[in-house]
Amino acid sequence: MKSKRKKKTTPPTITKTKKKKKPSTPESALIPSLPDDLAMSIVARVSRLYYPILSLVSKSFRSLVASPELYKVRSLLGTTESCLYACFNCFSGFRWFNLCRKPDHHQTLTSNNDEEEEKNKSSTTTTSGYALASIPIPNSNWKLLKNSFSLFDPKTQAWDPQPFPCRQTVGMFDRHSASIDGKLHVVADKTMAVYDVKEAKWDVLSNRSMYYGMLPNSYCQRDNVVYSASPESFRWYDIQARRWRVLQGLVGLPTFRRDYVFRLANFGGKLAVMWWQTICIYTGKKKIWCAEIALERRSSSATCEIWGKVEWFDHVLTLTPSAFDEFTSIIAATV
């Protein structure tokens, strides 16, 4: 019998059909049910203090609170506010933090029941709800010429292209300065150099009392008045009498040790004070405390006084041992 030959069969061709993708919400969408412009307008009306909490909602919110477009919208809506920033020098360079609201106002960043902390606490510290949150700001490579200054014009939003060198014999300039009555007062070598912006000339103050209060970086300026802080007292400089006067009031502040380091800033017309407290000299563990003080000038025919009312103070940050070398400064900016 003849065997039947099997017919060669070609395997069926399998055609891959592309599955239709379901319509998805773009990653940039903040709130799926609202247009992005409307969502941004809503976020722009939220206080800047809550932005670190909003950044935890999603990647989209995290990108939004860091975008320049949001702050342009805040400016157009008139919802800008004063924000407080703190700068620390550590091994990897400068690190910046901003004052924000804690997610839970009744929680503190760390729990430490030592006697000193309990002594420093008051009824205002447990309800302030503030903390310092880390923010990424690149280090600046901007350099100035020796004993010179450059001025920034807020109207043109530009730096003056030519610096203003001081040819007076005042020694080396320090970075500490203040603008009073249209004149720039700069701390120099055991004296104060003064630059008159209108006349474009330098001068030297014969009275050095202002110098001693501005030599440490624990001062700030508000309404043409320079304020200074030390463990002994808080003071303000009377430009007419050319002397430092004690800031009255300040009920509720703790007792400061001599090794505390202070930094001050004009925080929306109020005095923001932060101090650096070393917890353990062996480990280098430190705590940062912050206070907000309302100021009131009381004048009479005989004398002039400025009083301070402590609105709150609280522990806002604990620094990793041996990671931070210097409490550089605090600044307030309107954003």
**Stated pTM of the model:** 0.72
How would residue 290 be classed by pLDDT, with cut points 50, 70 and 90? very high
Digit-coded pLDDT (tens) for 157-177: 676 666 666 666 566 666 677
At residue 296, the pLDDT reads 94
| pLDDT over 60 at 102, yes or no | yes
Q: What is the DSSP string of 169-201?
A: S--SPPS-EEEETTEEEEE-SSSEEEEETTTTE
How confident is residue 201, by pLDDT bands cut at 50, 70 and 90? confident
Most confident of 83-97, 120-134, 139-153, 282-296: 282-296
Which of 222, 228, 195 lies closest to 209, judged by CA? 228
pLDDT at residue number 197: 77
**How high is the pLDDT of residue 122?**
37
Give the per-residue pLDDT at 36: 83
What per-residue confidence (pLDDT) applies to 270?
A: 94
Token duo for residue 225: 């008045």
Helix, strand, or coil (residue 76) = helix
CB distance 169 to 189 below 8 Å: no
